[in-house]
Amino acid sequence: MSASVPQQQNEFIVFVTGRLAERSLREVVSGISERLGFRYEVVVPGIQVAALLHTSLLKSRLSLPEGVDRVILPGWVRGDLDELNSIFNTEFERGPRDLRNLPEHFGLGKRRDVDLSGYSIEIIAEINHATHMPLPEILKTAQSLTQAGANVIDIGCVPGECSPRVREIVTELTSRGMAVSIDSFDQQEVTQAVDAGASLILSANQSNIEWVTESGVEVVAIPDSPEDVDSLHRTMEQLERASVPFRIDPIVEPVGVGFTDSLQRYMTARREYPHAAMMMGVGNVTELAEVDSAGVNFLLAAVCEELGIQSVLTTQVINWCRTAVSEFDAARRLVHHAVTNRVIAKHLNSALVMLRDPQEQSPSISDLRKLADAITDRNFRIFTESGTLHLMNSEGHWSGPSAFDVFTSAANASSRDIDSGHAFYLGYELARAEIAGLLGKKYQQDEPLRWGVLGESPSSSTVGRTGEEGH
C-alpha cells in the first residue's frame, strides 16, 4: 500500500470501521490529524468487526456527511471500490489492515525514500575450488553471483595443484562480459588466467614477487603472514618499483585468532597510505563464524566504507553464508548512503532484516477476544499474539503455541469434517503463523512473510481463506 497524503490542509476524510475498533481508530486518527491538519469523521455502518465489511454491505448501510473529500476503509474490506465511488460520488480507498499502520499510510513514521543505487565497494565473489567444477556449473554459479551483486568473479584454485583448466574457465567467463580475478600462487595457473583476460591476481607477497611483477595486471599485496607487516611493506615497495598496480590487503583474521588486531592493521595502513587502494577478504570472518551472516556483512561493510576500503573478497561456501553476496550488496549501498549523508542506517531500507521484521505488530489478547465473540460465520481467522497462535470462527476460539495442538482442537470441536483442501490450508497458515511468532515477524493471514534480501515467501492459495471460499 503506497502512502496516502492529504491533498490540502483542510481536506475532509471519513474513516470507516466496526464498533470494536472505533475507539482505537479515533485515538490514532486524532494524532494524525493534529500533525497533518485535515478534518475527519469516524463512521460505523452498523457492524461490530471491521474485518467483516464488504462493499455490498456498505452500499446499503453507509451514510456520509456532506463535503467529504475521500473515504478510507479498513484494509480487510472486500469488493469493488469503483462501485462505491460511483454511488457516493467520492473517492474510496483501502487503508492498512492494521489501524496502527495508519500513520505510515499517511507518510508519517515511514521509511524514508532514499536513493540506494550508489556504492563505493567492489564485490569480488570467489568460486571456491572452481578448477574441480564442471564448466556449466561454473558458468551458472558465476551468473548467479553476478545477479546477486558481484562485480568480479574470482577463480579459486586448489593450493598445491596446477590445473590446466584455468585458461578455459577464464576465457568462458570473460567472453560473457564478466570481470575475472585469479586466486592462486601457482605461476602456470596465473599465466593461463592473465592470458585469457583476468584483470586481477590474488595475491602477491615475498613468495611470488619475482614473477608476479611480470604479469602486467593489477595484484593484491598481502603480508607473508598476517602479523608480518614489514613483509607487506617490502612487497609494496617492489611492486611500486616495477610499476605494477596493486591494492593492499593486510588480511582480516577470524574471530578468535586476531580479528580486532587485524582491523587495527587496516586502520594503520589507511593512515600510512591515505590514497592507496585496499581490499578486505570478508569471507575470513563470515565463513568462519557460525552465525547468520547478514549482520556480520553489514558491520564489515561499514568498516570498509569508513576506512575507504574499495573492494572485498567474499564467498558463499558454508550454508549460513549462502546469500553473502546479496547481503553485502545491500549492506554496501546502505552504509554508503549513511556515511555519505551522515545519517544513521535506520529506517532507510529493511533488506537486511531477514529473520525478524522492522516492526512486529499483533493484536492484543483483549482485541482478539472481542473479535472472537463477534464472529458469526464459520470462516477461520488466524492471528499471532506474544508467540501464541489464535484460530477462531463462530464455533470457537482456540489458542496455543503449537500449530498441531491448535488445529487438533479446532478439528475436534468442529460440527463438520474439515475437507482435505481446507485442512491443508489451515495447516499451512498455522505453520507460517508459528514461524512468524517464533521469530518475531509480522503475520497476516494469506499475506506473504517478509524475508529481506531472500525475497517474500509465496502467499496462500485462495482455498480456505476468510472470504466466501473459507469455512
Q: Give the CATH number, domain containing residue 222.
A: 3.20.20.20
Q: For a pLDDT cut of 70, what percent of the chain falls above it?
A: 94
CATH value at residue 34:
3.40.50
Query: Are 302 and 374 within one domain?
Result: no
Does 313 fall in a domain?
yes
Does 150 fall in a domain?
yes
Query: Are 192 and 312 within one domain?
Result: yes
Q: Domain range spanning residue 51?
A: 12-105
Query: Are 129 and 37 within one domain?
Result: no
Query: Are 210 and 171 within one domain?
Result: yes
Query: Are 286 and 392 within one domain?
Result: no
Please determine, for residue 59, whether its predicted confidence score (pLDDT) is greater than 50.
yes
Does 4 fall in a domain?
no
Query: Are 155 and 89 within one domain?
Result: no
Does 196 fall in a domain?
yes
pLDDT single digits (tens) 318-335: 999 999 999 999 999 999
Please determine, for residue 236, whether its predicted confidence score (pLDDT) is greater than 90.
yes
Does 357 fall in a domain?
no
Least confident span in 18-22, 210-214, 312-316: 18-22
Query: Are 289 and 405 within one domain?
Result: no
In the listed set 71, 105, 139, which residue is the last one of a domain according to the structure?
105
- Mean pLDDT over 265-274 rounds to 96
pLDDT single digits (tens) 351-370: 999 888 877 667 788 888 88
Per-residue model confidence (pLDDT) at position 101? 81
Res. 53 pLDDT band, cuts 50 70 90: confident
Least confident span in 114-123, 216-225, 451-460, 462-471: 462-471
Does 277 fall in a domain?
yes
Does 143 fall in a domain?
yes
Segment of 95-109, 297-311, 371-385 carrying the highest mean pLDDT: 297-311
pLDDT single digits (tens) 434-453: 988 888 888 888 888 888 89
Does 353 fall in a domain?
no
Query: Are 312 and 260 within one domain?
Result: yes
Query: Are 101 and 150 within one domain?
Result: no
* Sheet with strand 381-385: strands edge to edge: 381-385, 388-393, 396-400
Per-residue model confidence (pLDDT) at position 239? 96
pTM higher than the cut 0.85: no
Query: Are 70 and 130 within one domain?
Result: no
Query: Are 130 and 99 within one domain?
Result: no
Q: At 170, which amino acid appears?
A: V
Per-residue model confidence (pLDDT) at position 448? 87
Res. 96 pLDDT band, cuts 50 70 90: confident
**Structural domain count of the chain:** 3
Per-residue model confidence (pLDDT) at position 371? 86
Per-residue model confidence (pLDDT) at position 466? 42
